[in-house]
Amino acid sequence: MMSLEDMSREGTWFIEFNTPFSYHIRGIKRVLYNGVTKYQRVAIVEFEDLGKALVLDGKTQSTVYDEFIYHESLVHPAMIAHPNPRRVLILGGGEGATAREVLKHRSVEEVVMVDIDDDVIKISRDYLPEMHQGAFDNPKLRLIIGDGRKFIEESKDKFDIIILDLTDPLEGGPSYLLYTVEFYTMIKDRLNDNGLMVTQATSTFYALYTFAAIYRTVASVFPVARAYHTYVPSFDSTWGFVIGSKRLDPVSLTPEEIDSRIKNRINGELRYYEGDIHRVLFTLPRHIRALLENKSIKPATDKNPTFLPA
pLDDT tens-digit series, residues 196-218: 999 999 999 999 999 999 999 99
Q: What distance in Å separates the CA atoms of residue 121 and residue 246, rounded to the nearest whole number?
A: 31
**Catalytic residue of the set 165, 236, 259, 276:** 165
Q: What is the mean pLDDT of residues 171-194?
A: 95
Instruction: Convert the pLDDT of each residue in 131-160 to its tens digit.
Output: 999 999 999 999 999 999 999 999 999 999
Average pLDDT over residues 214-232: 98
Q: Is the pLDDT of residue 304 over 60?
A: yes
Query: What mean pLDDT, rounded, does the chain reach?
Result: 94
Q: Tell me how far apart the alpha carbons of residues 207 and 201 are, in angstroms, rounded to a whole number.
A: 9
Residue 5 CA to residue 29 CA, distance in Å, equals 5
pLDDT digits (tens, 9 = 90+) for 254-270: 999 999 999 999 999 99
| C-alpha dihedral sign at 217, 219, 221, 224 | positive
Q: How far apart are CA 217 and CA 163, in angstroms?
A: 16
Sheet holding 141-145, edge to edge: 141-145, 110-115, 87-92, 159-165, 191-203, 237-245, 224-232
pLDDT surpassing 70 at residue 9: no
Taking alpha carbons only, the member of 171, 157, 162, 99 closest to residue 128 is 99
- The CB density around residue 106, as the number of other CB atoms within 10 Å, is 10
For residue 80, the model assigns a pLDDT of 98
Residue 191, Cα to own-chain centre: how many angstroms? 19
DSSP string, 193-204: EEEEEEEEEEES
DSSP state, 174? S
Q: Is 212 exposed, middle or buried (0-12, 13-18, 19+ CB in 10 A)?
A: buried
Report CA-CA distances (Å) from 288 to 38, 51, 63, 198, 296: 37, 32, 27, 19, 15
- 165 assigned to active site: yes
Say if residue 165's pLDDT is above 90: yes
- pLDDT tens string 77-91: 999 999 999 999 999
pLDDT of 73 strictly over 80? yes
**pLDDT tens string 102-111:** 999 999 999 9
Q: For residue 69, give the amino acid letter.
A: I
Q: In whole angstroms, give the CA distance from residue 171 to residue 21.
A: 17
Identify the pLDDT of residue 12: 86
**pLDDT for position 19:** 87
Threshold 0.85, pTM exceeds: yes
pLDDT band at residue 173, thresholds of 50, 70 and 90?
confident
